[in-house]
């Protein structure tokens, strides 16, 4: 009986491993979003998968993981998933792991193949002119992009010697990224961090916004919201199928909501060297945080 069960389990494992080498098993990180956002992303993903399977005859199995630990463990084992889309912050915390286990990588970036630049934007009535003026101010934050708050934390640590939580009065979360500007415009919050692209898009829709807003700080154009990795053990078929399904004009239409949701225009192949400026920024940020903890 034990031998029979062992044989069945072995057969199932071999079948799954064979399937991993033939089809796309892709995991999405959605655990930082609200339940409504999660359901929307799942709905878009399942619909896109169905279109891919019907049009391209490619099998795609989507997964939605619970946390960063599950992402790392699942990708490392390469039993359930062979492609992982993850938050940039997850990559930065585990960059050596990803460098050792990935074959190819991609990023959702802007139309000009550039990374995102961030602005610190305030309402003119808040009297914020420099970073030191953020003291006791209300901050509008977006729950889907940890990079925004990380850059804010870097600014306050670098210029004030304090983490942003010790500087601001209150942090208010917005579930829609474009709502950040409106939150500040209508004086519900004093300032926010927003990408240059979204800021300029909002001004195009409503030029009067600029009369009430100030740009206090600008980051370098080094940020990206998410990175997708293909496991180094993935077969040529899996890699080729991924290109056909995700790196083409059709993918923009299929994942239009998802691209808009994370402030991107398309998926583009990148190399680890492209992330060097972001890694350098993160190393400086960690050094500032660690020096603060030692005090």
Tell me which H or E stretch contains 51: helix 35-56
Rounded Cα distance between 198 and 183, Å, is: 14
Rounded Cα distance between 172 and 162, Å, is: 20
More reliable by pLDDT, 283 or 37: 283
Which pTM does this prediction carry?
Answer: 0.86
For 188-240, give the secondary structure using H, E and C: CCCEEEEEHHHHHHHHHHCHHHHHHEEEEEECCCCECCEEEEEECCCCHHHHH
Cα 237 off chain centre by: 26
pLDDT tens digits, one per residue of 175-232: 888 899 999 999 999 999 999 989 999 999 999 999 999 999 999 999 998 899 999 9
Cα 52 off chain centre by: 23
**pLDDT tier for residue 141 given thresholds of 50, 70 and 90:** very high
Residue 136 near residue 168, CB atoms below 8 Å: yes
Residue 87 near residue 148, CB atoms below 8 Å: no
Domain with CATH 3.40.190.10 in the chain: 2-113+224-273, 118-220
Residue 123: strand, helix, or coil: strand
Going through 21-112 in order, the beta strands assigned E by DSSP cover 24-29, 60-65, 83-87, 102-109
Domain 118-220 sits in CATH at 3.40.190.10
Pairing of strands 24-29, 83-87: parallel
pLDDT tens digits, one per residue of 93-137: 999 999 999 999 998 765 445 799 999 999 999 999 999 999 999
Q: What is the pLDDT of residue 2?
A: 42
Whether the predicted pLDDT of 147 surpasses 70: yes
Q: What residues have CB less than 8 Å from 243, skipping those under 6 apart?
A: none
Enumerate the H helices of 57-113 as residue ranges.
Answer: 68-77, 88-93, 95-101
**pLDDT tier for residue 295 given thresholds of 50, 70 and 90:** low
Q: Quick one: the chain helix, strand, coil %, rounded to 5?
A: 55, 20, 25
Q: What is the pLDDT of residue 40?
A: 84
Whether the predicted pLDDT of 27 surpasses 60: yes
pLDDT tens digits, one per residue of 231-284: 999 999 999 999 988 887 666 566 665 555 555 566 788 999 999 999 999 999
pLDDT tens digits, one per residue of 69-95: 999 999 999 989 999 999 999 999 999
User: Given the structure tokens 């370098």, which residue do they identify?
Assistant: 220
Residue 238 near residue 23, CB atoms below 8 Å: yes
Q: What is the pLDDT of residue 245?
A: 87
CATH number among 3.40.1360.10, 3.10.180.10, 3.40.190.10, 3.40.50.261, domain 2-113+224-273: 3.40.190.10
């Amino acid at each position: 009986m034990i031998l029979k069960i062992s044989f069945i389990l072995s057969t199932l494992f071999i079948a799954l491993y064979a399937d991993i080498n033939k089809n796309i098993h892709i995991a999405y990180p959605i655990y930082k979003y609200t339940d409504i956002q999660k359901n929307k992303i799942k709905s878009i993903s399942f619909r896109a998968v169905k279109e891919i399977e019907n049009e391209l005859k490619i099998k795609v199995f989507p997964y939605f993981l619970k946390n960063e630990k599950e992402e790392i463990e699942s990708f490392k084992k390469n039993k359930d998933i062979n492609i992982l889309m993850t938050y940039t912050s997850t990559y930065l915390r585990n960059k050596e792991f990803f460098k050792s286990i990935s074959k190819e990588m991609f990023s959702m970036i802007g139309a000009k193949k550039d990374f995102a630049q961030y602005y610190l934007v305030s309402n003119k009535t808040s009297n914020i002119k420099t970073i030191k003026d953020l003291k006791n101010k209300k901050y509008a934050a977006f729950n889907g992009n940890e990079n925004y708050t990380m850059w804010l934390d870097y600014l306050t640590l670098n210029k004030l010697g304090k983490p942003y939580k010790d500087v601001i009065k209150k942090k208010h979360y917005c579930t829609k990224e474009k709502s950040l500007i409106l939150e500040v415009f209508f004086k519900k919050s004093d300032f926010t961090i927003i990408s240059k692209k979204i800021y300029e898009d909002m001004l195009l829709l409503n030029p009067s916004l600029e009369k009430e807003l100030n740009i206090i700080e600008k980051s370098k154009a080094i940020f990206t919201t998410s990175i997708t990795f293909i496991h180094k053990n993935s077969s040529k078929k899996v890699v080729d199928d991924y290109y056909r399904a995700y790196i083409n004009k059709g993918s923009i239409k299929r994942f239009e909501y998802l691209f808009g949701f994370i402030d991107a225009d398309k998926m583009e192949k990148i190399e680890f060297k492209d992330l060097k400026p972001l890694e350098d920024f993160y190393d400086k940020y960690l050094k500032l945080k660690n020096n603060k903890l030692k005090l």
